[in-house]
Chains A and B, each alone.
Chain A
Amino acid sequence: MSHRRINLRINGMDHEVEVDPEDILLDVLRERLNYTGTKKGCDGTGECGACTVLLDGKAVYSCLILAMDAVGKEITTIEDLARGTDLHRIQKAFLECGAVQCGFCTPGMILTAKALLDENPKASEKEIKEAIRGNLCRCTGYVKIVEAIQHAGENYGK
């Protein structure tokens, strides 16, 4: 099938990449552009949330989006959050609250939390739980994760 050269804007930088129509954004991010912070869990069924990225600030599953459909959108991956060794507020909160165990779900959790807190910094526990419903943690550290997001929400954006 026909290859196409497209431009993907990821974390504020333009990347030219040659893709096939069937290439999924997750695979292009991980395999071609080396953004391996975005994880592959359920492999394209939209269930686990490990592949969550932000598309124009909204949390989406990158395993359910064709790379070609991401052209012209601002893609944010976990790599964009820290500035060198200076971690993002949500990343710090995850460390401080002990919300990371094996770490596989963490990038997706943090990006979902960012999308939520950007929209509503004062999200309640219920709203946080609703928001991370699409991110599975098989170490079952949800209590700490919810605590971390609540902690990150204090003075968020100030």
Chain B
Amino acid sequence: MSFEYIQAKDIPEAVMMLGKYGDESRILAGGTELIPNMRHHAISPKILISIKPITSLCYIRYGENNALNIGALTPLRMIERSSEIVRSHSLVSECVRSIATFQIKNAGTAGGNLCQTVKCYYYNQSHINFFMRQSLEPCRQRGGSVCHASRVDTFNHAILGKPANGCIATTASDLATPLLALNACVKVIGSKGERLISPEDFFLGGGRTALREDEIVTEVQIPSLADTTRSTYGKYSQGTRNFPILNIAVIARLTPDRKFCEDIHAILGGVSVIPLRLRSVETQFRNQEISSLDIEDALRDDLPGVRIRGSLSEYKLKRAKTMVSDVIHSVLG
């Protein structure tokens, strides 16, 4: 690792520096993913722009209509410990509680979690695999033209849908899935000003986001939820750093007697390159009596079959279906 280190004192300075140094530079916030990636030689930026001094981006606030606004530099642990968020948006609390470890969450930030690159053992996972990777042709993430993962039966990658820019790694951000379910917005600032991006447009897959070269994430805005709304988050992961292999966020608005489902949002992460909206489940369950719902039938359209037939992919699909069914039952039950 060899680079220049500069600190931005405020947002305009960070934007100006990004504009000046372009793709030779990277933003350093918590550093919990950037530094391992640099150590694994996955990326080698020439300049790191530390935005840690911008303390004005560290906050949890409630704005208009009780919408929850989280500053991009808010540590994940602060979000997890916020009793207001447990009350107003328990889905976010549950999700953040499941992320990595105490230490990672004290350093890692909300904005950083959204801007993660992919996690793939052909690209950046573990130093041992660095030697394995040297014997392979570089993958697309490393400037090559192949995706090694797409040739094999896999458990850690997308099992259905199209690759993103030739890469089949899934979105590594835990928060992506609940933010989609919550209809949240990501606020970004660049040289051309401020804009709000919906998570559906923000995550592009293949470790890319809709951020332009000189833009940084400044805030996540999450609308308030009605009192009759119930939600649950589910996750399957392995290892200490536990990136989501599968995660699911479900929000449903029920009638006060809990017999009818008025509205439902169900997002499943880990099966495709970006979290998948379970459209059939949402359409078939909206305005329906809960006792009449058949999840398996609805999932047949949303999760048709795996890309490469094999025990790992098929097991992942089965596991995903079970998770969806369990989480939806717990929300509607």
Contact = CB atoms under 8 A, between A and B. Distances in A.
Is B a genuine binding partner of A?
A: yes
| Minimum-distance CB pairs A-B, first 6 | A134-B101, A21-B5, A58-B106, A22-B1, A44-B39, A61-B103
Contact of A1 (B3, B50, B52, B240): B3
Interface of A: 1-2, 21-22, 24, 43-49, 52, 55, 58-61, 64-66, 68-69, 112, 115-116, 130-134, 136
Nearest to B104: A46
Contacts of A133: 101-102, 240
Nearest to B40: A45
A69 B8 CA distance: 12
B127 A43 contact: yes
Question: Which among A2, A55, A65 has the highest number of chain B CB atoms within 10 Å?
Answer: A65
Interface string B1-39: 111110000000000000000000000100110011001
Contacts of A60: 103, 106-107
Question: Which among B1, B32, B106, B239 has the highest number of chain A CB atoms within 10 Å?
Answer: B106
B77 interface: yes
A23 B77 CA distance: 26
A69 B103 contact: no
A45 B107 contact: no
A44 B37 CA distance: 10
A110 to B, nearest CB: 14
A61 B104 CA distance: 7
Contacts of A44: 35-36, 39
Contacts of A58: 75, 77, 106
A69 B31 contact: yes
B322 interface: no
Nearest to A54: B106
Given A43-B127, A47-B240, A64-B36, A2 B4 contact: yes
A46 B240 CA distance: 9
B255 to A, nearest CB: 34
A13 to B, nearest CB: 23
B36 A46 contact: yes
Nearest to B100: A134
A115 to B, nearest CB: 7
Given A2-B4, A21-B3, A43-B127, A112 B39 contact: no
Interface residues of B, number: 29
Interface in B239-257: 239-241
B36 A22 contact: no
A130 B36 CA distance: 23
A60 B1 CA distance: 21
B183 interface: no
A68 B35 CA distance: 13
Nearest to A56: B106
Contacts of B2: 1, 22
B102 A112 contact: yes
A132 B103 CA distance: 9
B32 A64 contact: yes
A44 B39 CA distance: 7
Nearest to A131: B102
A5 B105 CA distance: 29
B31 A112 contact: no
A52 B103 contact: yes
Contact of B106 (A21, A24, A48, A59): A59
A21 B107 CA distance: 19
Contacts of B241: 45-47
Contact of B103 (A2, A49, A66): A49
B57 interface: no
A49 B102 CA distance: 10
Nearest to B240: A47
B264 interface: no
Given A58-B75, A64-B36, A66-B31, 12 more contacts: A1-B2, A21-B3, A22-B1, A45-B127, A52-B103, A58-B77, A64-B104, A66-B5, A66-B35, A68-B5, A130-B97, A136-B240
B102 A46 contact: no
